[in-house]
Amino acid sequence: MKVEIIPTILVNTLDEIEEKIKLVDRYVNWVQLDVMDGVFVNNETWPHSVVPGKAEKGVRYFKEIQRLKKSNPPAGRKAKIEVHLMVEKPEEEFEEWLEVADRIIIHFESKITNRELGIRDLIKKAHQKKKGIGLALNPETHYAVATPFLKELDLVLFMTVQPGWGGQEFKEWTLTKIEALRKIWPKGDIEVDGGVNNENIEKIIKSGANLICAGTYIYRSKGIEKAIKSLNI
């Protein structure tokens, strides 16, 4: 399967998001926005980081999301937006994100009402809007929890670090889960996020992943284009 590199963006302001996108836009087809609420994970990113009373999901919060829509895409931008919702209650903001994102990833471990039915409902809402949707699994979560949804999902994302912070060390033992899912889902898109670099990329791709997320490795490199190309082996 075709391998695609997806730079991840973990920042606190919309200005930083736009700056990060500009740095990689000419080299990739997708970028991923990491949205963290400070509850599901011990970190906050935009827009949770700039709006008081985030948990209440008030009008100001949703207006902040709309700011992204107004700036997306500016003239010449080609990268699509994937939003990775690392939030406790994705249902509360899911439909707002559908208005600005091309694809949304929700976590199996989040507090979704009536989990299986709730996940299917979010999948349905995304597809009704002709948007992609993925299901993310934390390192300790067994891959089999995703199997009931494979016919409906656009991708499964394996976290290869604990979600919440960039720059963590890759958990190599997670590769066995990727291998297992690839055996039963040979044509599906499998995404990996966390600790990816030029030293472990070959093992990751051999395990069966074809969508490769990387943030720290790309943005802290001396040459962004070179860093991206080094992952696309």
- What stretch of H or E contains 30? strand 30-36
Looking at residue 177, its pLDDT comes to 98
Condensed to tens digits (0 to 9), the pLDDT of residues 40-73 reads 999 999 998 887 655 455 566 777 777 776 665 5
Do the bridges between strand 103-107 and strand 132-137 make them parallel or antiparallel, or are there none, so unpaired?
parallel
Q: Is the pLDDT assigned to residue 216 strictly greater than 60? A: yes
What gap in Å lies between CA 59 and CA 62, rounded to an integer?
5
Q: Select which of 15, 25, 34, 189 is catalytic.
A: 34
pLDDT cut 70: percent of the chain above it: 92
Closest to 196 measured CA to CA, from 173, 168, 220, 222: 168
Check if 154 is active-site. no
Which tokens in the block code for residue 16? 């930083």
Range in 8-17, 101-110, 209-218 with the lowest mean pLDDT:
8-17
Give me the phi and psi of 211, to 5 degrees please. -110, 115
Task: Map tokens 């966390």 to a residue.
Answer: 194
Is 15 catalytic? The answer is no
Hey, is 80 helix, strand or coil? strand
Q: Cis omega (within 30 of 0) on the bond before 47?
A: yes
Residue 163: name the closest of 82, 86, 218 by CA: 86
Q: For residue 104, list its beta bridge partners.
A: 83, 133
**pLDDT tens digit string along 104-159?**
999 999 999 999 999 999 999 999 999 999 999 999 999 999 999 999 999 999 99
Structural domains of the chain, with CATH: 4-231 (3.20.20.70)
Mean pLDDT of all residues belonging to the chain: 91
**What's the confidence (pLDDT) of residue 125?**
98
Question: Rounded to an integer, what distance in angstroms lies between the CA atom of residue 137 and that of residue 108?
Answer: 6
Residue 99 has pLDDT above 70, yes or no: yes
